[in-house]
Amino acid sequence: MRLLLSLTALAAAAHPALAGEPARPPNVLFIVSDDLNCDLGCYGHMVVKSPNLDRLAATGVRFDRAYIQYPVCNPSRTSFLTGLRPTTTRVMDNATHFRRPLPDAVTLPELFRKNGYESIGLGKVFHRGLSPDDTKKEMDDPRSFDRVLYGQTTAAGNKGDGRNLTGGTLAWCRWLAAEGADGEQADGQLADEAVKVLGEKRDKPLFLAVGFYRPHDPFQSPKKYFELYDSSKFDLPKSPEGYKPPYPLSLAGGALAVAFDGFTDKERREFLHAYYAGISFMDAQVGRLLDALDKNKLSDNTIVVFLGDHGYELGVRNWWNKNTLFERSCRTPLIVRAPGAKGNGTPSAALAEFIDLYPTLADLCALKDVPKELEGASLRGLLGDPSRKHKDAALTVVKRGPVLGRSVRTERYRYTEWDGGSKGAELYDHATDPGEWVNLADKPEMAKTRAELSALIKTTEAGAKR
């Protein structure tokens, strides 16, 4: 017997008088934060202030080992919104729209729409930028939503104190403690619109996707969120003495690495300060959405999913970006609150992948005509019993020019192969080296483990472990 009933069945059980009538399908609030790593209070961070995500985690299932399939925005979002691995979608950059290689793919919001839901997309759900002329609107997907809104920072919201941390070398690497209220920023506008949507009367169930832009660069948030932190008290990231990445491919390098090498402690503290302020700003907007659910009496019939689209190194290895196959880029927050789930309030240490989200929501909402080619596995069982095992491994890939890197994460190890191992391999034992500083791949005593993990990459990618 399944550990968790579908929410439609739960609704009927909660209202016996309605047992003979079709139960109203659950709503879904799907929240994505851009470039967010696990530096949150609910994930044990001692500095970042994230009270609203902390309360969501306290009432849902917090996944402590959830891994994206590609550590860059567009490939990652394409993957979890189609339920397919990047090696299947063939989307491995920020320029390729998934409809080119996959014109007939049915996305997650599109499937809800086909099942009678009103599907609304606010902000950055699929990959798009935040620019005055909305130049990346073409990266969105009209088939997925009945209506969309993107938000746009106002002129007043672009005023304030700040600077570029690289002297202009990297245009994106800048922060701004902005004047004005939250509504002068795009994320504040998205929250305004989401609150309106949640207050509307409708005959259909709702799938509402809200893609917040922060803490993604430019690191711009209202000044009051900067004032939550004293950067002089931050612990700066450090590497072991003499550390060098195992291979040039391990980090993307190039102009970014040169600019980051020029950072002083002043730039490092300012970067952390602005990133943390962005998290707290985004967190406040999430709180408004949760409050709107309660105010409109929707919490008992709304599945809430919160996730980051990938992690962020944030200075580890002196890399102030994403796009690596290390833990900090591959692991990202995932919180799921399903009304009536027995696991709510209990964290899960099970390995999970973001391609699991599509089949999970389709399962919980009893959707019809679910694509047979989905490559993830429903997390439904973990929502009922967070202590159970889900899968043997999580797989993340990244492209470096013509070279594909594949990284598999198991209970104990992370193992990475560049070009099938011909361009290098990395093996880290998280039992003794959670920072992934010591590469064991060429140690003779690890040969058997390495061979097993190499085989696991192939079986995981092929789906043999589902």
Residue 292: alpha-carbon gap to chain centroid: 23
Radius of gyration of the chain, Cα coordinates, nearest whole angstrom:
22
Scanning 66-161, the segments in alpha helix (DSSP H) are 73-82, 86-89, 108-114
CA gap 177, 463 in Å, rounded = 46
Question: What amino acid is encoded at 456 in this protein?
Answer: L
DSSP H/E element including 353: strand 348-353
CA neighbor of 155 nearest in space, from 174, 133, 179: 179
Are 250 and 423 within 8 A, CB to CB?
Answer: no
Output the six-digit token pair for 149: 């809104």
From residue 32, give the alpha-carbon distance in Å to each of 122, 283, 335, 427: 10, 11, 11, 31
CA gap 174, 176 in Å, rounded = 7
Q: What angle do CA 119, 87, 336 make, to 5 degrees?
A: 40
The residue with tokens 């509402």 is: 208
Name residue 426's beta-bridge partners: 416
CA gap 86, 256 in Å, rounded = 24
CA gap 87, 108 in Å, rounded = 19
DSSP string, 178-238: E-S-GGGSHHHHHHHHHHHHHHS--SS-EEEEEEEEEESSSEEEEHHHHTT--GGGPPPP-
Name residue 121's beta-bridge partners: 148, 209
Name residue 395's beta-bridge partners: 408
The verdict on whether 127 is a catalytic residue reads: yes
Catalytic residue among 38, 42, 127, 273: 127
Name residue 403's beta-bridge partners: 400
Please state at what angle helix 265-295 crosses helix 51-59, rounded to 10 degrees: 50
| 254 conformational bin, left if phi > 0, alpha if psi -120 to 50, beta if neither | left
The residue with tokens 């013509």 is: 402
> For the CA atoms of 202, 362, 323, 104, what is the dihedral angle to 10 degrees?
-90
Q: Three-state DSSP class for 182? A: helix
CA gap 402, 384 in Å, rounded = 43
Question: What amino acid is encoded at 175 in this protein?
Answer: W
Catalytic residue among 42, 73, 173, 330: 73
The verdict on whether 173 is a catalytic residue reads: no
Q: Give the residue numbers annotated as catalytic, written as ranges.
A: 73, 127
